[in-house]
Each structure stands twice: as structure tokens, then as C-alpha cells.
Amino acid sequence: MNATPEVLAVLGDLLAAAAPADRGALWQLDRQGRELDANLVRLPPGAEVGEHQENVLDVLLVVLEGSGRLTPGDGGEPLTLGPTTAMWLPRTSRRSLAAGPDGLAYLTVHRRRPGLAITPAPASAVTYEGGEAPCALDRVCPECGRMSQESAPTYCGACGERFPDR
């Protein structure tokens, strides 16, 4: 099977067409069979994505519009973000992100996260204690549907959306 290159979106046009109040993921790569994920994210002026950590994937972040800062979770100096800044966010690195006075629009690209699967434990490891598994819906972002690694997230690490009642 030969795949054919195609234009998926003109990111500048998407940003220009978005309403001023639009925030979070404005666009996502959605092709079947892809090996990459990509998101166009916009944060309004002063918005923040709280400290978080991606344990599985490296992420490339490219700033398209606006300004902001990325603060490493290891106590390092904040890094200034502006248009055309490209950052590598290595897996296991902790970081927070804050939009500047004009907001911040950026593209994230990473390897596609493997789908979630439930696999049975070996029979020798199974114990039955009763009860139900804890519900984790409070950790699922209402905007992009990603599950947070944090037990009580304030902001989504993928799209920047604020979790309800936080």
C-alpha cells in the first residue's frame, strides 16, 4: 500500500479563524494508521498548564504565535518561548507552561501513544478482594479526552484545559 502525502491543515488559518475565547486543542491529527500524534493548542493570555510529566513519550513543541515560558520541574531557570521556538520535551521531564500577555499557540508532535488495553494477569497473581475499581473519570480531560498521570490534575498536560471544580 502506497500512502499519499496530503495537506491536513493550514495552522495559521485555523488560528486566524478561531474565536478569541477558543482555547485548548484547536486541531488534532486524526488519520487512521498513523504513527504520530499532533495537536494545535492555544492558551489565552496568562493561562497555565500546571506541572506535569509525560513518562512514555518525548514531545516536540513548536511555538506558532504569542509568547510564554516553560518552567522545568527540576527547579531550573524558566525558558522563554516565542514564535518559531522549537523545544524538545524529553520523556520523564517535569514541566509547567505559562502563556504570556498575548497568549500562546503551539504545536505538539510525538509518537502515537499506544492504545489502552486490558490484559489478564497470570492466574497465580490474581487475587479477589471484591469491590469495584476506582473511577478515574475525574482524571480525563473534558476537552481532549486524555487521561492525566496526576491524581488530582488542575490543568491538562496535553491541551491546557482546566479541569472542572479545581
pLDDT digits (tens, 9 = 90+) for 41-62: 999 999 999 998 888 889 999 9
Q: Is residue 164 part of a domain?
A: no
Q: Is residue 69 part of a domain?
A: yes
pLDDT at site 140 = 76
pLDDT at site 97 = 94
Give me the CATH number covering residue 69.
2.60.120.10
Question: What is the overall mean pLDDT for the chain?
Answer: 83
Helix (H, G, I), strand (E, B) or coil at 125: helix
pLDDT at site 131 = 45
What's the one-letter identity of residue 165? Answer: D
Percent of the chain with pLDDT over 70: 82
Looking up cell 518552567 gives: 71
Give the residue numbers spanning the domain of 95.
11-113
Q: Is residue 142 part of a domain?
A: no
Q: Is residue 64 part of a domain?
A: yes
| CA–CA separation, 154 and 131 (whole Å) | 28
Per DSSP, what are the bridge partners of residue 109?
A: 38, 60
What kind and span of H or E run contains 16?
helix 11-17
Domain count, the chain: 1
Residue 130 has pLDDT above 50, yes or no: no
Cβ-Cβ contacts under 8 Å for 127 (sequence gap 6 or more): none
Q: Is residue 38 part of a domain?
A: yes
pLDDT at site 164 = 73
Residue 149 binned pLDDT confidence (cut-offs 50, 70, 90)? confident
Find the mean pLDDT for residues 121-145.
Answer: 58
Give residue-wise pLDDT tens across range 73-121. 988 899 999 999 999 999 999 999 999 999 999 999 999 876 555 556 5
Q: Is residue 138 part of a domain?
A: no
